[in-house]
Structure 1
Amino acid sequence: MAKGYYISKAVAAVGIVVGAAAVATIIALSVVYAQEKSKNEVKPTDGGVQPKPTAEPKPTTEPKPTTPPPSNQPWDRYRLPDALVPENYNVTLWPRLEPQSDGMYIFTGSSSVLFQCVKETDLILIHCNKLNLTKFGDHQAKLTGVDGSIPPPINNTWLKVETQYLVIQLSGKLEPGKRYQLDTQFRGELADDLAGFYRSEYYEDGVKKVVATTQMQATDARKAFPCFDEPAMKAVFHITLIHKPGTVALSNGMEGPVENITMDSMTVSRTQFEPTKRMSTYLLAFIVSDYDNVRNETGNLLVRIWARRKAIAEGQGDYALSKTGPILKFFEEYYNATYPLSKSDQIALPDFNAGAMENWGLITYRETALLYDPSVSSNSNKERVTTIIAHELAHMWFGNLVTMRWWNDLWLNEGFASYVEYLGAHAVEPTWNIKDLIVLGDVQRVFAVDALVSSHPLSSREEDITKPAQISELFDAISYSKGASVLRMLSEFLSEEVFRSGLSVSGIILYFGTTAVKLVGHRLSCCGHQAVEKHNVQLPHKVHDIMNRWVLQMGFPVVTINTVTGEVSQKHFLLDPEAKPTTVSPFNYEWFVPIKWMKNGVEQPQMWLLNKIASGNQWVLGNVNVTGYYRVNYDSGNWQRLLAELQNNHEIVPVINRAQLMDDAFNLARAKIIDTTLALNTTKYLSKEREYMPWQTASNNLDYFFLMFDRSETYGPMQAYLRTQVLPLFEYFKNLTSDWKDVPQGHTDHVSADNEVSVIMRLGITDGVFAVNDGCGRIHANLRSTVYCSAIAEGGAEEWDFGWEMFKNASLAAEADRLRAALACTRKPWLLNRYLEYTLDPTKIRKQDATATIINIASNVVGQPLAWDFVRARWEYIFNQYGGGSFSFSNLINGVTKRFSTEFELKQLNQFKQDYTEFGSGELALEQSIERTTANIKWVMENKEKVLQWFQNA
């Protein structure tokens, strides 16, 4: 799944028995498709019976158990027993795209699952959530034997709501080695809750259209049909969809011919799909829509981009189509394995909670993540489309073909995809220099979370992650961005050649159906060690010993280089130095640290932390190009030499490290390791800087100062200083673009120009600002976000209403997204309160955008207290809508509290925690907010006067 929408929980993990955390990731990708194909070949129905398409079954009341079930039984636990293993499913679903007489949208269906008994049992537990089951006689399921096996009669069935099971008690035992078939018929709501089998709505030419679509990850396949809904429970799926004539049905496999049949006295279409590969339930997808597509075919592979008909007609899918094939080809070479399916469908949905989802053969996206219009979309939009496509296609092998055994090792999926997405994007857009942007997009992003004591290790214990909300909390910056950062570090200290060689160096074919580090660690460590030996890489420790320290303990070190003594030391970096981790690290918060370094502008041989660095009067720079996952501090003399070099000859310092010096300095200052004035001194050279990464890093870090001081007397002097620093860059781009009539040539220049215009307008410099209602088509796409926000902020109700109409009528999702965010820029409290109320109405603000809109409003200094009051006043509704398992939900708590820096606000947070007992997937986001607010209070108290004085003097 694509990243960027979740900031979440710390789940403590201690004493995990792991053999090769990083090498596991490498070798798990060593998939040779020829052998895998033989394992995935679909056999004849294996005794499974294709269920007949059902008309709408009559719901039944939940049958009562004969006797109340005792507590602490298997159905009270969230993990499935290990007695049964599914082999294949036959599933038929019929979504109704028109409401029933009661206004409800529904789907009906039937399912049969063929499973093998591997341990004697008299109990069947199968996941089932929010489905009304139809009786077969006296019970809600029918059990039959396969290949001559005779099952015992069903004694009792009921639904266990809390753990989401259909419980089937038998009067006898199922026998190990025997195979059985379980049949169910059911009805469910095709709700607009963005989970399981749900509906999405849009208007085209004034006509309302409904899409039936899916989002199964992590635990919502059970909302579509009863199934063994854990990633290790792989099976082959035979999917059939019943749908309205004229609509298009899609699923993971290639569709067969559409048949018209009669059901319930009406003509409907039936589409059957080729059987899937053996796969996990969370990767299933089935969609019924009125969509169109663009396509191409290369060899035996069909690539299609699906979207609303108008979007396809306007060419919004063309860019994605042009890049999908080349990215797939790149990954085939990277993984040394052929793409295992006959088609690659990608579809843009109006309502989708995540960024995208890697369903095998049918990838689902937000419209903003797949559709691109060169006349309206910005370069940032284009970059996002490319990297998210690369991320999802990377999963076709790692995640889909080879899968984690349980969600505690989610980072193996998402961390790897988040790393190689940059490689895939670079392969198709080599002029963008996009591989370096991982430092901004992932490394710096996750440092902020991993520097809290409420962070968590990359890998957790299985027993610590059981409930759906706990699983959802793992879809956070740690799993995605820290995973990517640590794997990039591994690739750098081994070299990319050795890293890739480790994928297949042993020639061993690894296909486990599912993979878990603790199960395959020994073989993986062996293979990884062979790769290192083959290329004669000199390491101080074995690869898995090095990587265990980065995977099994949370956090990261600050490496201090003392150029006077030559000593290099490390310490666990925490934003609040007085905070103490509540869990014990298996490695005492020490890491094996690879150090790439530079002396006086010349790069030196790679070393490890145990070595010493000699300097004298020459400046030393650690972590060249930020290839390591750690921060760097220096003695005061070396800091002064580095600052002087930035002032006199900044280009001798690599551009990534110019960004790093500021990012490290500002965060070291927040942690009281260096003085805040030293951090501010790193910005003095910026009037000479023209590159994107240093300016973006400065903007990100100074944003903290805006948050802490934009309600105080410090704000004015800070604003005046920043004007003097940014004006030369503004003039540079103004001249480069002939007074904003042209556009820069380079990709990062495009993005940088937009960034600097944003900073200028934020500082109150209005030269070059365009009126939002005066020929907005003349505003280049890269500048629209900033111009829209500025115009809404400077205007009143008339401008806001005009922007609202533009938002409602935007035909490109990226344009609508810009306008939706800009509407939160108004300084009128009554307009912001009205906008907050709109987030409760999905006809105004889509559910996928509700939490983001509240966060946009909270980012406005006027809107922040309004958003906080709104969230508290409407908490029960918000929690019921988004709190159980929404990946974006934790963002809400962090977003509305990030400006908190007073004792009063901390008391409000603690009171909020006391007033409610449940926070769902935002539980630890609340803990992080409390921890962050506590640190902010201390920092402001200690730094306010010196910061004010520094800006006044500067």
Structure 2
Amino acid sequence: IPCTTNMILVFIPLSYRLSNALVPDYYNITLWPRLSCDPNTGLYIFTGQCTMEFECVKETNLILIHSNKLNYTKLDNMHIASIKSTWLQPETQYLVIQLNSKLTQKHKYQLYTNFTGELADDLAGFYRSEYEEDGIRKIVATSQMHPTHARKTFPCFDEPAMKAVFYITLIHPPGTVALSNGMEGDIVNTTIDGVAVTKTKFEPTKKMSTYLLAIVLQAMTIFIMSLLITLCVQIRIWARRTAIEQGQANYALNVTGPILDFFQLYYNISYPLNKSDQIALPDFYFGAMENWGLVTYRETNLLYDPVTSSNRNKETTATIIAHELAHMWFGNLVTLRWWNEVWLNEGFASYVSYLGADHAEPAWNLKDLIILDDVHRVFAVDALTSSHPLSSKEDSIILPGQISEQFDAISYSKGAAVLRMLSDFLSEQVFVQGLNSYLKHFAYSNTVGDDLWHHLQMAVKANNVSLPCPVCEIMNRWVIQMGFPVVTIDTSTGKVSQKHFLLDPESSVTVESPYKYEWLIPVRWMKSGEVQRDIWWLMEKEGMRRGSVWVLANINITGYYRVNYDHGNWESLFAQLNSEHQVIPVINRAQLVDDAFNLARAQMVSTPLALNTTLYLSVETEYMPWQSALDNLDYYYLMLDRTEVYQPMQDYIKKLVTPLFLYFKNMTSDWTHVPDRHTDQYNQVNAIRMACRTGVTECQNLTTRWFKQWMENPQQNLIEPNLRSAVYCSAMAAGDEAEWEFGWSQFKKATVASEASKLMSALACTSNTTLLERYLSYTLNSAMIRKQDATSVITSVASNRLGQSLAWDFVREQWEYMFTQYGVGSFSFASMISGVTARFSTPAELQQLVEFEEKHRAAGFGSATLAVEQALERTRANINWQQKNKQEILDWFNSQTRH
């Protein structure tokens, strides 16, 4: 870039936030990616031109715009005051332009740039994805701008509040297809510098944030399309040709229309665009990305093969499509002002994704599954002192790494849980009325959380809803302070109290809260089997209710809190479970198990009391209570499967799960039919997985036989798709190198992404440590394991009790290489740290983790910084837990298996 830094006379403060002196109006961008590598450098590159128009709202002689890893060949002020000097500031990722005179307030200006960037395979910004089809290597140029990677594609004001209109032109090889947010307009075949190209110009976008821009150039010339008549919207699903031909995109096409229709009615606002493109990409870091009008997905999340995919894959496709389409309004039309309130986007989309998917698949009863998939999941994180509030101070989230950290279970799952609670105590009618007002008022602009509370309060007032205080006062306690309460009910005295729930009772919170860790808690409850109609609000540390025969609080778990009882009430609830468990709603049977186990970890009830919640499971056939129990017993496996407790625990769970295994054997006529109900299909998988894992001979023989039949006839896999994950893992664990090599060959040949994903997980189930070490080494070779999948392979190996130490050693040995060479776009370092440290429960492991943290502290951990803190806290808590509970647990399991 032309630069006269020796003449710089201005001081630029080191700030990672843009000045508010300039506001973009539009960008006119032309990009030309080269889909073959430069013979001299070996690099894939793209060239670009950008004309941006912006308005001066405050006099300044500096233009600060974001730019990262771009090289400039031309920069023209386009009639701006003459340029004094220009330079790149890599640390803040700025292109800085110093002018000889100040820009005038309320005047508009244009800046023209020519630039070059690398079309790398780093899954960030404008990048390349490669795949093979019919023996031919194909390259896709695609994008991931979210959250701070637009600046790696073109110079821009790369902050969510800096909305603008984008005019996009793409230059690409003839015969390839170009896609962007807008509909394709002019498509012209021409030559540039003697090279034959196609130039595709797109309709201008709506006014939107840079992170929502999407660009794809690909040879995926086949797509399927429908027209949503009620919206006059063209819906297209794009994927590899073979995937389209095999019908893998049909399900996505079938559910997209109904889901878009649902959200249009739910928000009471028409879908703002004239088309909805969705594309499955071979290499993609996130699960999906809500780019306005062109949503990008991992193949496993968009494609569903009716022959080989499971009902879990089908649900994933429906819910992720619903999540991304929910963003078209909440997130894209109205956008958060800054990344300190990521939950406003992600928590909301996570919550309403269940509503949208439920509309598309009403027989599945999806709305209840939010408890297992989100509420219980985030309780585990939010009960740590290293948790964080949903909303942080704006100036505390500045660096790109800090921004990436915000996209965690707290923002997605806790956000979903507290919004579900809010919708429940307001009523859905009032909730959506407030949403409609909010979305209409702030369309094409940006908001903060208080804006949402204000519009919901207007709906509360319009409908005369009785609340103990305004919406903002209730919700700020759930949003501004981290954590959640446990409500304790003493039925003998009627006393009800609340306390900040911490998984480790010996830990202490160092972060002060303006609300002193008290919440305004809406309590729905059941008394002696009868649901009470009113919500009771626990306003202080303590309150009073009258005693009852037995009480069950937080009916259907609409509130984001745990519940504890006096010992007598627990015994009454156990008696009810053992005599007629259906009296307690199924969702609360799952809650009782989860609450009890976690209360025991926090030393608020005894460990035997928690284990007693599992006794009735021998007569339980519903999925949610079983899954809740297995999730909690999985912690016991992690802590105790390398100790003398392992075998008695195996014996007990074997005794518990055998009736469930036989129940599904009978229901399916000896495994020849698929259960009708969605959740029964899930619980059948649990029955086989746990029966095989705990040594039920009939189960192990069954899975081994099915897998051997497939090995003998590789062209004909007769294993039922729902059962494949469990069967593959069981057979791989029971087998050796022959089974593993067969699984690896099938993984490499797989043309269906969900089938490849099942095999990829199962390969980590082997008992052969040499094979596990080989598998780990493959994660550093993208020809063996795609970069997007490396993290999940490492964590899968770590979840194998024989592979945990191997995975941890591997991460320690390769950390510096992975962290510097792969970067944030390719590896999910946070989930990798969580995965490889999940079993840590000894002082030696804690010491290794402390040394690892100290060794790499100077370089930092990027998006894994919080994960390392949480791993240290969890490990200390695990050591204490094991020391205090191991003997008692051993005695309890022994007592249950003696008779």
Band of TM-score, shorter chain: over 0.9
Amino acid at match of 2:426: L
Residue by residue over 1:551-596, the C-alpha shift from the partner in whole angstroms, topping out at 9 and shown as x without a partner, is: 1000000000010110110000001112111210110000000000
Gap change, CA 1:556 and 1:885, over 3 Å in 2: farther
- State yes or no: 1:847 paired with 2:794: no
Q: What is the CA–CA distance in structure 2 between the aligned matches of 1:529 and 1:163, rounded to whole Å?
A: 40
* Corresponding residue for residue 707 of structure 2: 772
Distance change >3 Å, CA 827–CA 507, structure 1 → 2: closer
Q: Distance in 1 between matches of 2:73 and 2:27?
A: 18
The answer for the alignment partner of 2:283 in structure 1 is: 351
SS of aligned partner of 2:544: coil
Give the structure 2 partner of residue 169 of structure 1: 98
2:457 is aligned with 1:529: yes
Matched residue, 1:18? none
Q: In the alignment, which residue of structure 2 is the partner of 1:125?
A: 64
Query: 2:205 matched to 1:295?
Result: no
Q: Deviations for 1:362-405, whole angstroms, at most 9, x for unmatched residues?
A: 00000010000111000000000000000000000110000011
Match of 1:96 in 2: 34
Q: Report the secondary structure of 1:374's partner residue.
A: coil
**What is the CA–CA distance in structure 2 between the aligned matches of 1:758 and 1:535, rounded to whole Å?**
50
Number of aligned residue pairs: give it: 877
Paired letter, 1:190: L
Distance 1:88 1:674, change over 3 A: same
The answer (yes or no) to whether the contact 1:126–1:165 under 8 Å persists in 2 is yes
Quote the Cα distance in structure 2 between the aligned partners of 1:882 and 1:634: 49
Pick from 603, 628, 631: which aligns with 2:562?
631
Q: Do structure 1's residue 897 and structure 2's residue 837 form an aligned pair? A: yes
What is the CA–CA distance in structure 2 between the aligned matches of 1:352 and 1:501, rounded to whole Å?
Answer: 36
Q: CA deviation at 1:513?
A: 1.1
AA of the residue aligned to 1:246: G
Tell me, what secondary structure is at the counterpart of 1:377?
Answer: coil
List per-residue Cα deviations over 1:694-731 (Å, max 9, x = no partner): 00111100000000110011010000011111111110
Q: Deviations over 1:722-749 (max 9, x none)?
A: 1111111110101111111111011111
CA contact (8 A) 2:430 2:456 kept: no
Per the alignment, residue 514 of structure 1 pairs with 446
Give the stretch that moved more between structures: 170-179 or 393-402. Answer: 170-179
The AA in structure 2 aligned to 1:444 is H
Deviations 1:111-170 (CA, angstroms, capped at 9, x unpaired): 0100011111111111110111103xxxxx21123xxxxx22111111111111111111
Q: Residue type matched to 2:434 in 1?
A: G
**Separation in structure 1 between the aligned mates of residue 25 and residue 826 of structure 2, nearest angstrom:** 30
1:330 to 243, 259, 262: 262
What is aligned with 1:156? 85
1:731 aligns with 2:665: no
Alpha-carbon separation, structure 2, partners of 1:913 and 1:395: 37
Matched, 1:827 2:755: no
Give 1:69 shift.
Answer: 7.7
For CA contacts below 8 A with separation 6 or more, give which structure has more relative contact order. 1
- Contact 1:506/1:530 (CA < 8 Å) preserved in 2? no
Give 1:134's match in structure 2, choosing from 67, 70, 73. Answer: 73
Runs of at least 5 residues in structure 1 that lack an aligned partner in the other structure: 1-59, 136-140, 146-150
Matched with 1:437 is 369
Deviations 1:438-464 (A, max 9, x none): 000100000000000111110111100
Q: Deviations over 1:638-668 (max 9, x none)?
A: 0111111111111100000000000000000
The Cα of 1:511 is off from its aligned counterpart by: 3.1
2:487 partner SS = strand
Q: Aligned partners of 2:767, 2:785: CA distance in 1, in Å? A: 20
Q: Is the aligned partner of 1:368 residue 2:300?
A: yes
Question: Structure 2: which 5+ runs fail to align?
Answer: 711-715
TM-score normalized by the length of structure 1: 0.90
Deviating more after overlay: 108-117 vs 577-586: 577-586
Q: What is the CA-CA distance between 1:760 and the residue it aligns to?
A: 1.2
699-708 or 871-880, which deviates more: 871-880
TM-score normalized by structure 2? 0.96
Picking from 81, 96, 99, the partner of 2:19 is 81
In 1: Cα distance, 2:686 partner to 2:821 partner:
34
Could you say which residue in structure 1 is the equivalent of 2:877?
Answer: 935
Contact 2:86 2:96 in 1 (8 A): yes
Runs of 4+ in structure 1 deviating by more than 6 angstroms, as ranges, are: 68-71, 505-508
Distance, in Å, in 2 between the alignment partners of 1:741 and 1:359 is 43
C-alpha separation between the residues in 2 aligned to 1:559 and 1:842?
49
Match of 2:643 in 1: 712
1:558 matched to 2:486? The reply is yes
C-alpha distance in 2 between matches for 1:845 and 1:716: 35
Q: Distance in 2 between matches of 1:565 and 1:512?
A: 54
Encode CA deviations 1:503-534: one digit per residue, 9 max, x unaligned: 3469973436111235x47xx52x42332233
What is the rounded CA distance, in whole Å, between the counterparts of 1:328 and 1:465 in structure 2? Answer: 33
Aligned to 1:45: none
The residue type paired with residue 541 of structure 1 is C
CA shift for structure 1 position 219: 0.1
Contact kept? 1:619, 1:642, Cα under 8 Å: yes
Measure how far apart 1:772 and its partner are: 2.3
Report the AA paired with residue 707 of structure 1: L
Mapped partners of 1:785, 1:827: distance in 2: 17
Alpha-carbon deviation of 1:615?
2.6
The corresponding residue for 1:399 is 331
Determine which of 198, 202, 205 is the counterpart of 1:276.
205
Hey, what's the Cα distance between the residues in 2 that align with 1:774 and 1:178? 74
Matched, 1:460 2:392: yes
Deviation of 1:199 after TM superposition, in Å, equals: 0.5
Q: Report the equivalent of 2:186.
A: 257
Distance (whole Å) between structure 1 residues aligned to residue 743 and residue 758 of structure 2: 10
2:875 is equivalent to residue 946 of structure 1: no
Aligned-partner SS, 1:218? coil
Kept in 1: contact 2:8–2:85 (CA 8 A)? no
Report the Cα offset of residue 885 of structure 1. Answer: 6.2
Across the aligned residues of Structure 1 and Structure 2, the Cα RMSD in angstroms comes to 1.5
Greater mean deviation of Cα atoms: 331-340 or 879-888 = 879-888
AA of the residue aligned to 2:702: G
Post-superposition shift, 1:829?
A: 1.2
Query: Taking structure 1 as reference, are residues 904 and 883 closer, same or farther at Cα in structure 2, changes over 3 Å only?
Result: farther
Corresponding residue for residue 848 of structure 2: 908
User: SS at 2:43's partner residue?
Assistant: coil
In structure 2, C-alpha distance between the alignment counterparts of 1:909 and 1:628, rounded to whole Å:
36
Which of residues 412, 415, 419 in structure 2 aligns to 1:487? 419
Match of 2:520 in 1: 592
Deviation of 1:913 after TM superposition, in Å, equals 0.7
* Secondary structure, counterpart of 2:336 in structure 1: coil
Match of 1:754 in 2: 685
Residue 666 to residue 68, structure 1, CA distance change in 2 (3 Å): farther
* CA distance, structure 2, for counterparts of residue 243 and residue 706 of structure 1: 53
CA–CA separation in structure 2 for the residues paired with 1:625 and 1:413: 25
Matching residue of 2:240: 308
CA displacement, residues 595-617 of structure 1 (integer Å, 9 cap, x when unaligned): 0000111001221115532234x
2:277 and 2:642 mapped to 1: Cα distance?
50
Matching residue of 2:498? 570
Name the CA distance, whole Å, in 2 between partners of 1:308 and 1:886: 22
Q: Counterpart of 1:811?
A: 751
Deviations along 1:338-373, one digit per CA (max 9) or x if unpaired, are: 001010000000100000000000000000100001
Aligned-partner SS, 1:134 = strand
Distance 2:321 2:821 in 1: 29
Given that residues 475 and 887 in structure 1 are in contact (C-alpha distance below 8 angstroms), is that contact kept between their aligned partners in structure 2?
no
Rounded Cα–Cα distance in structure 2 between residues aligned with 1:314 and 1:511: 40
Counterpart residue identity of residue 566, structure 2:
D
- Contact preservation (8 Å) 1:885, 1:921: no
1:886 offset after TM fit, Å? 6.1
Equivalent position SS for 1:741: coil
Which AA in structure 2 matches 1:363?
V
The aligned runs of 1:46-85 (5 Å cut-off) are 63=3, 65-67=5-7, 73-74=12-13, 76-85=14-23
Counterpart for residue 713 of structure 2: none
CA positional deviation for 1:104: 1.3
Q: Distance in 1 between matches of 2:717 and 2:51?
A: 55
Aligned equivalents of 1:939, 1:716: Cα separation in 2: 19
Instruction: Give CA deviations for 1:163-216 in whole Å, capped at 9, x if unaligned.
Output: 111111111111111111111111111111000000111100110010000001
SS at match of 2:99: strand
